[in-house]
Structure 1
């Protein structure tokens, strides 16, 4: 997968919680009438009726990777709107619009990532309370609070936990559709996600223990579930995720890991690229270390969750094979 990098300044993410909370409040309360409509998910079931029929569960997802899953699990019984849909948008620093607020206020079911990743979404929910709205916060589901690694859609284990929870919530909201939702879940996990599941299992069984490096902490949940050995210092990965300056010690450690080929593959988030990261990518390529590109949100924007993740996993598998000769 080849994607043009979307550059962020190193400080773009720092202090984001205070700034986005304030921006969310100001925008939601004052921007009425000037917002564009939120994007609808492109993954609804072909048998679905007209949007807004009143018979569907109105669902809002803060990010399109969760929205894609929610739409496929709900099929013709749901109408899903994802707020973050563009690969060029940083979910950490997004400023909600009045249109987003209206979407949230009219939703019967809301899905946010949590763990400090989308604090603006929490603000939207609290500003637009719904007495009958069911809310799924992925961080709460997996038992992580702000400060933990928020990138749970890169954990295959947590993805399946989210699938279970969304299905259970749909059945509570629409008990008459319980059998339909069970069928959707079974088909999604056993057929739709089958290539994804096979890749996860195959990489783990063949390459577990292989040392890799990465540009930021988005890769950590995936590397753990795949059994890969992350050599990049956690302090560097977290600093890059938070937009902080990495330490000279960490940069020197990574430089040595690359120059001595202690890592077999370097995994690079193209949506968070700084001069330090670009230098690492360049050096890794110069040393003949395969570089795998990943993104934070669906790329291209119209892809499904499984298309996006499967493409990236295949790139990783090919790179591991090239690097190890297995």
Structure 2
């Protein structure tokens, strides 16, 4: 048990498609693993990032039938980077539409970072549809968590990058950086929009790794990736993710009876461990694993180990129907 688990080998979907969810939005979805095995849904982060092939590898392909999808405006979903009819509660409704489409009565819900926020919102709205929860990098969308990233906190750990992030905004507008970036990310000038998106995405990219990762940072600031992530993330954060302050903690009682695991990096500078600890206090039954040498990303060895062990544990006894 001392040897750390790694991701499962790469796998291709056995089924893909687009689902019209109304409001002009169409979602890309894919199913991987073994059809008829244990149902699961993967909720990606951001908000705005889209799903990737590596995320499929957190599940045993023999024992899981896992659905991954690009949330509204993300990845291969259309329209690209759209903010219209794009809120937390639209996404919660979309997850239910996807569950019904797949023909599952209930499923395991797996999400990290913003995906953990969405997982909790979905599970608290539809607890009868959730068999288990596997969460990483807890983000509860409370004011102190927004402040950590965009006022004071992470700025003390990455002062040179914070200065670069802030310098993109004129001094007179720096009192509310989220609002100031909003004006640029929704500009009619594509050049203004792209420059702001790259600056926003670079700042986040610097906070998510335990050690510098040039390849990951290049991906974060790639034009096609940076624009939807920055626009959608900023849109959600400006609106506090359409959650009341402390809502996900206040409603944690709705999770009683749902087995759950949280894998949290001790040195996560994007979503610090205090949020995971607060959730554990509100939901005592959940298993909380704080990874001593872990940061934010699921690809870090200790985080991968915890997530794969959790998904394996919940698959025990699962059979293909």
| TM-score, reference length from structure 2 | 0.34
> Which of the pair is proportionally richer in helix?
1
| TM-score, reference length from structure 1 | 0.34
Larger Rg: 1
